[in-house]
Structure 1
Amino acid sequence: MNITLRQLRAFVAVARTGSFTLAAESLFVTQSALSGLIKELEQSLGVRLFDRSTRRIQLSEVGGAIYPLIDKTLLDLDGVIDEVTHLKALKKGLVRIAAPQLMACTLLPEVIARYRGEYPDVEIHLVDCAVESVVSRVFSGEVDLGVGPERDPNSDIDAETLFTLPFHAVLPPDHALAAQPQVRWAELVDHPLITLKGEFIQRLSGDLREAFRDLDLTPTTTVTFMSTALSMVEAGLGITVCIPYAASLVRRYGFAMRPVVEPTVTRNFYVFTRSGRSLSPAAERFRDFLRQHVAEHEDYSV
């Protein structure tokens, strides 16, 4: 049995109008083509769908029984096609992003605002979370994509480089080191240093030990969030280091930022997605916006 959508639509059109002429006009086909479609459908089903006379046409008993089912099927199919059309045109949709707290209050709001300006009907959910849980949220399917720093490779996760930036010192504008265009790591250890805890300081200390065996980067204080570190700098409790993507937050405090050199230590940041899983049109477009924003913004070209 080989039944086509064109045959089913022809059947419904004739059943609704009670006329081959009107049905053919509604489908933009000739009357002979419409009659051919109905004949093919009847042959495939092995039953008559319409009782015809010289004066009128009406549904047969079988045709009357199956008409509501076919009509609903076509309406449901049209609804599916409309849904896909709206999703492709970004007239609706949902994008779910996971990002560390610092990135969620600097980079992501700027990108989300730009995206919503062009696609106001797409819903966006931003999950601000601990940096260690970004990849796991992508893996679990809780979010479509994650944005964050490099982590151990995972065969179930695709990692696309978003940007690579060096560490900068963050200090009050009247601090002695702020008068320099650059700051050496060896100079930082002579001042109270506030850093993020966990993998942040562990990776940084490891990188510096490779360059200087005798350089001991022991923070005075470690905290969970950069906003806490900045507030402590503001209170005169020390200085901190960060990646320049946080510059918009640092500027709100009026602090100076200076590249830290000898050695220059960089961090890679990625867009994480689930391997083998395609993104929705809305999520794919959001990733494009993210790439474009980074490419155009001076904070990511340091």
Structure 2
Amino acid sequence: MRINIETGELLAFIAVAKQSSFKAAAEGLFISQPALSRRIENLENSLQERLFERTTRRVSLTAAGKLFLVHAQAVIEELELGIRSIELGTAQRREHVTVACVPSVANHLLPQVLKRYATEHPNVRVKIIDESATDVLESVRSGEADFGINFIGAQEAEIDFEEIMQEHYLVVMPDKHPLANERVISLQALAGEKMVSVSSSSGNRGLIDNAFARVPHRPVIQYEINHVAGAISLVAAGIGVALLPELSIKNAPFTGIVARPLSGAGIVRSLGLIVRKGNVLRPLSAKLASALREAVSSRQE
């Protein structure tokens, strides 16, 4: 069967999928909106599938569009690799691994693992999808990522979740804060504090809200921000106190803050390696997953 799809059509499709907007995608590709629309229409005609649901307010991928996006991105990546190979005059190996993980893993665990992995597999291309827990889960579910490191997915029927560590939350505060001299801190002691927290859409926030619901005097969340790194910055500025996972605090590039454990059971989340149910990792992916397991184990010893 002849494939009658042009590269420009794939690039247009990927741009619209990422921007969720024909206008923004056209501007990014430096073409007119009618030209962009023609490319999408030609692609949909070739595939005999609708790729986007269009309304006056938004553009979203159809089920077929979500499936095709994974393959379209892979085709463009392989084409770019081929072009670079020609420019360098060398034949580069086409082996690649894609791992999805939450930002705390990408920032504080993955770099050292990849440094060792690269010495053994210098020609393997590694793509890292460092996004929210929900995005990591979707990347694995869709097949875009070979595997993921995430703290959600254990309850998903389509996902195999292998716990690799339990991560405790710490109370993070300015080093001049009155509670900074305490060895451990209770949730009750945070009543009346101006709390800094990640947004309500975050998995982190759900754990924190559940913990606050168990104490008589619930601390008030005064400041809300989308990312953990931003929360640390606000605490470092002396604005408030935050409850944050310990992995995000390790080696954080901030001075003037301290972290203390919570008393009692505290707040704990399970960090796991996730793959699509029944999926067997390719050897190179399996080796990177194993290296991550070993890195986590060594941190806990």
Relative to the length of structure 1, the TM-score reads 0.64
Q: Deviations over 1:47-99 (max 9, x none)?
A: xxxxxxxxxxxxxxxxxxxxxxxxxxxxxxxxxxxxxxxxxxxx873111111
| Aligned partner letter, 2:205 | I
Residues 223, 188 of structure 1: alpha-carbon distance in 2 compared, 3 angstrom cutoff: same
- Shifted more, 98-107 versus 129-138: the winner is 98-107
Matches of 2:165 and 2:271 in 1, distance apart?
A: 5
* Contact 1:166–1:267, Cα closer than 8 Å, also in 2: yes
Matches of 1:283 and 1:215 in 2, distance apart?
A: 47
Larger radius of gyration: 1
Counterpart in the other structure of 2:129: 127
Q: Which consecutive unaligned segments of at least 5 residues does structure 2 have?
A: 1-92
Counterpart in the other structure of 2:174: 172
Match of 2:291 among 286, 289, 292: 289
Residues 253, 110 of structure 1: alpha-carbon distance in 2 compared, 3 angstrom cutoff: farther
Q: Which runs of 4+ in 1 moved over 4 A?
A: none
Match of 1:207 among 197, 200, 211: 211
Match of 1:115 among 112, 117, 121: 117
| Aligned partner letter, 2:180 | A
For 1:132, what is the secondary structure of its paired residue?
Answer: helix
Please state how far the C-alpha of 1:152 moved relative to its aligned partner. 5.9
Residues 269, 171 of structure 1: alpha-carbon distance in 2 compared, 3 angstrom cutoff: same
Please state how far the C-alpha of 1:228 moved relative to its aligned partner. 0.8
Residues 277, 161 of structure 1: alpha-carbon distance in 2 compared, 3 angstrom cutoff: same
For 1:121, what is the secondary structure of its paired residue?
Answer: coil
Counterpart in the other structure of 2:267: 265
Please state how far the C-alpha of 1:187 moved relative to its aligned partner. 1.3
Query: In the TM superposition, what are the counterparts of 1:1-302 in structure 2 within 5 Å?
Result: 93-151=95-153, 153-197=155-199, 198=201, 199-209=203-213, 211-212=214-215, 214-250=216-252, 252-297=254-299, 300=300
Please state how far the C-alpha of 1:150 moved relative to its aligned partner. 2.6
Counterpart in the other structure of 1:74: none
Residues 122, 163 of structure 1: alpha-carbon distance in 2 compared, 3 angstrom cutoff: same
- Shifted more, 184-193 versus 134-143: the winner is 184-193
Matches of 1:203 and 1:172 in 2, distance apart?
A: 23
Cα RMSD over matched residues? 2.0
Q: Which consecutive unaligned segments of at least 5 residues does structure 1 have?
A: 1-90
Matches of 2:207 and 2:229 in 1, distance apart?
A: 20
Residues 164, 228 of structure 1: alpha-carbon distance in 2 compared, 3 angstrom cutoff: same
Please state how far the C-alpha of 1:118 moved relative to its aligned partner. 2.7
Matches of 2:268 and 2:296 in 1, distance apart?
A: 16
Relative to the length of structure 2, the TM-score reads 0.64
| Aligned partner letter, 1:244 | E
| Aligned partner letter, 2:117 | Y
Counterpart in the other structure of 2:73: none
Please state how far the C-alpha of 1:278 moved relative to its aligned partner. 0.9
